Amino acid sequence: MTTSSTKGLYQWTRKLHLYTGLFISPFLLVYAVSTIYLNHSMRPKPVDEAQGTVPIQLSEGIEGQDLVNSVLDQLGLSGEIAGRGQVRNNQTVIRIARPGTVKVVTVNLQNQEASIMERSTGLLGAINYLHFNPGLHRVPNWGITKFWGWLADTMVYITLFLTVTGVYLWMVMKAERKTGLIMLGGGVASFVSIILAILYI
């Protein structure tokens, strides 16, 4: 490769490293801060607020997903839905989650009414929600969560890109080579020894 094309590659890599890094910096903060909270099992303190009871019209014998859809349509609610519309004692409970808030709808089929309670989990609840969704046991059913999942994947690819370009940019700088090698070696040694110990000790 000629000197000018090497210089061009370096400059483009530097620009991309900077711009993509700045773009994902708020996302990285969301993941890093929520990780610290999750690592210490800190849960948000939810604040419950009853939002009243409203009349709804439900056809006789309705249950399952049809019941859930009918209730949500009538109440104009959307979000990540938990609750399959199973009816017990003429009641069913549907939870509609969004980052930082969960609406709990208790439907009484006999009285044809729905009581709504809003549980607010605040900023911590919102970032924990985003950290967890989608996840191992959470296949998203809300379009927005699916979109967040796609964004989360993109963040992973950008993070990997940033690490690779970061290594390239460091290798080009002769002044930082020695200390950088010590840091890289130290990191690799720490990682490998911790992983080996945690898996095989």
Count other C-beta atoms under 10 Å from residue 193's C-beta.
Answer: 10
Q: Is 191 in the site for other proteins (CB under 8 A)?
A: yes
Q: Is 10 in the site for other proteins (CB under 8 A)?
A: no
Draw the binding track, 165-184, toward other proteins (x: CB under 8 A; -: no contact). -xx--x--x--x--xx--xx
Task: Decide whether 21 or 46 has the Cβ nearer to other proteins.
Answer: 21
CB distance 6 to 168 below 8 Å: no
Half-sphere exposure in the Cβ direction for 176 (13 Å, CA): 11
The owner of tokens 């950088």 is: 180
CB distance 105 to 114 below 8 Å: yes
One-letter identity of residue 167: V
What minimum distance in Å lies between the beta carbon of 23 and other proteins? 4
CB distance 87 to 130 below 8 Å: no
Provide the 8-state DSSP code for 174: G
What minimum distance in Å lies between the beta carbon of 110 and other proteins? 32
Q: Is 9 in the site for other proteins (CB under 8 A)?
A: no
User: By the criterion CB under 8 A, which residues form the site for other proteins?
Assistant: 15, 18-33, 35-36, 38-41, 43, 98-101, 123, 126-127, 130, 134-137, 139, 144, 148-149, 151-153, 156, 159-160, 163, 166-167, 170, 173, 176, 179-180, 183-184, 186-188, 190-192, 194-195, 197-199, 201
